[in-house]
Amino acid sequence: MRPIQDVAFEFKDGAVVLEGVLRRPHGSEALVVFAHGSGSSRFSARNRRVADALNARGLATALVDLLDLEEDRHYEARFDVAVLARRLLTATRAALRQPGLADARLGLFGASTGAAAALEAAATLRERAGAVVSRGGRPDLAPGALPRVLCPTRLIVGGRDETVLALNRRALGRLRCRCDLVVVPGAGHLFEEPGALDQVAALAGDWFAEHLLGHDAPVRR
């Protein structure tokens, strides 16, 4: 397995200072920035597990906080997609300023409300974004962004997450980019069932490998 470098970094949105952690396998030429769901953080065990799987494929990952501790106490802030998307863009630019990543191919991975922020960010970045993956996402919270997303987009939803599945099916019809919807049978919203999160990691890895690396990159051990 390639050596992996961990780098902590900060970024600012006005007076708010937020944090992220970048994991970069040696020689990686693509970066996936993660936007977590409401009430979570860069320490999210689910996102870290997916990030580890992407690192094994040679992809760099950046897990970032989009709210500070005080903001995260307020329910309204967790669903303020405009603020989350703006901060995700700021975090993405900060990650791309790390040495050797200025020209990295860029992916966005969003979970729950973070998926709406990822789609908004992708719509703003236009051609600079290379791929998006949503895990149990809420694309309905970014309705104006959906037809403006240019990059290939994969929506992953648990088969038992019926309300979110219906929202994703409607969102799929509004996306004009290359896109698909993959249902993980028997999985709920958090993909806590045995093997469910591993399926998410494999589906996300395949998508990013194809669209950021240009091939089905094998897992490196």
* Residue pLDDT, tens place only, 12-40: 999 999 999 999 999 899 999 999 866 55
pLDDT tens sequence across 74-100: 666 677 899 999 999 999 999 999 999
Between CA 152 and CA 213 the distance in angstroms is 13
| Phi, then psi, of 13 in degrees rounded to 5 | -130, 95
Question: Is 0.85 surpassed by the pTM of this model?
Answer: yes
**Mean pLDDT for back-to-back runs of 10 residues, the chain (221 residues):** 80 91 93 81 80 96 87 70 94 94 96 95 97 96 97 98 97 97 96 96 98 68 34
Among the listed residues 167, 180, 215, 174, the one whose alpha carbon sits nearest the alpha carbon of residue 57: 215
Ordered domains of the chain (ranges, CATH): 4-213 (3.40.50.1820)
Closest CA to 156 of 105, 118, 213: 118
